[in-house]
Amino acid sequence: MAWEITKEVKSEIKLNNPVLLEGLPGIGNVGKIAVDFLVEELKAKKICSFFSYKFPHSVFVNENNLIEMPKIEVYYKKFKDKNKRDLLLLVGDIQPIDEESCYSFCDEVLELMKGWGCKEIVTTGGIGLQKTPEKPRVYCTSNDEVLLKNYVKKGIYVERDIFGVVGPIVGVSGVLLGRGKQKGVKGVALLAETLGHPMFLGIKGAKELLKVLDDQFALGLNLKKLSKEIISLEKEIMKKTKEWSQVGTKTEPGAKPASEGDMNYIG
C-alpha cells in the first residue's frame, strides 16, 4: 500500500490559474508557520488528505483529550477577484520519513495537481544557521530560469544569489521541484534563514516568507497579526510536530510524559 488519498470535497473544484504553496515541517518550521497562517487567514477549505503506512506509528492527544493521527492535507482558496491566482496549500504535521516515501509522495502530489489544473509550485524551507538571525534573509532557487528571474528581479524581498549559500535541499521542498521539472511543472523554493535548532519556531523567518508571497500573489495580508496570533496557535501545532519528530521505529510502544517545561524558542 502506498498513498491513501481521501477526497474532502463533494464536487470538482475549478481554480483560476492556481499555484500550490507547500509548507510542511522542516528546519525552523518557517514554511509550516507561514502556510498554516495562510490557511487560517484566508479561511481556506480542505480539498484532500493523505495517509501512508510509512507515517509515524503513533497518535497525539489533543486539548479535548482525544487522539489525533498524523496529518498531511491540501487546502484551497478561491478568490472572488479574477485577477488573483487561486491557491492550493499543502500543510501537515510531518514529512514522509524516508527516500521512497518522499519521492512517491511528491509524485502523488504532482499527479493530483494535473486534476486541479495547477502547473506551478512554491515550496518553502529554512536555512539552519548557528545563531538566531536578527533579520532573516530569504533565498530563492528554481527548476526554471525564467520563473527564477521573476522572483529575484526586484531584489527587495529575495536575495539575488543562492549558489554557494546552501548545500542540498533535503525533503519535499527540493524533490517537488526536481520531479516537477521532469513532469512539466515549474516551481521555486523560498528558503528563509532561521536558527538550526529542532525546537525553534522561526516566526521572523516565516514573516519574511509571507512578505515574498504577499508581494508575488497580491494576497493583501495583515502581517502585524502574524506575531500575535501565530505564536499562540503555532505553539500548540508545533507541540505535535516536535513530538512526532522524536518518534521513530526504535521508540518503545506506550506513552511518554509530555516534554519537560515549555522549551519552544520563539524568534
Give the residue, chosen from 129, 219, 231, 233, that forms a contact with its own copies under the rule CB under 8 A. 129
Select the residue interacting with its own copies from 12, 81, 98, 134 (CB under 8 A).
98
Under the criterion CB under 8 A, does residue 7 sit at the interface with its own copies?
Answer: no
- 209: part of which helix (H) or strand (E)? helix 203-217
Work out which of 15, 20, 21, 27 binds its own copies, going by CB under 8 A: 27
**241 touches its own copies (CB under 8 A):** no
Rounded Cα distance, 196 and 152, in Å: 25
Q: Which of 42, 52, 57, 86 is nearest to 72 (CA)?
A: 52
- Cβ-count burial 81-98 (b if 16+ within 10 Å, e if not): eeebbbbbbbbbbbbbbe
Site for its own copies in 68-97 (CB under 8 A): 68-69, 95, 97
Among 37, 55, 116, 217, binds its own copies (CB under 8 A): 55
Report which of 171, 46, 179, 13 is spatially closest to residue 108, judged by C-alpha positions: 179
Phi, psi dihedrals of residue 236, rounded to the nearest 5°: -70, -45
Least Cβ distance, residue 63 to its own copies (angstroms): 5
Which range binds its own copies by CB under 8 A, 13-21, 79-87, 163-171, 217-225?
Answer: 163-171
> Which residue, among 117, 122, 91, 103, has the nearest Cα to 214 in the 3D structure?
122
Judged by CB under 8 A, the residue of 155, 168, 184, 261 near its own copies is 168
The region that residue 261 occupies, defined by phi over 0 for left and psi between -120 and 50 for alpha, beta otherwise, is left
Q: Closest CB to its own copies among 227 and 251?
A: 251
Does 56 bind its own copies (CB under 8 A)? Our answer is yes
Question: Which of positions 135-154 make contact with its own copies (CB under 8 A)?
Answer: 140-145, 148, 152
By the rule CB under 8 A, 57 interacts with its own copies: yes
Among 16, 58, 150, 216, binds its own copies (CB under 8 A): 58
CB of 15 to its own copies, least distance (A): 26
> Is there a contact between 15 and 118 (Cβ–Cβ < 8 Å)?
yes
Q: What is the largest CA-CA distance in the chain?
A: 53
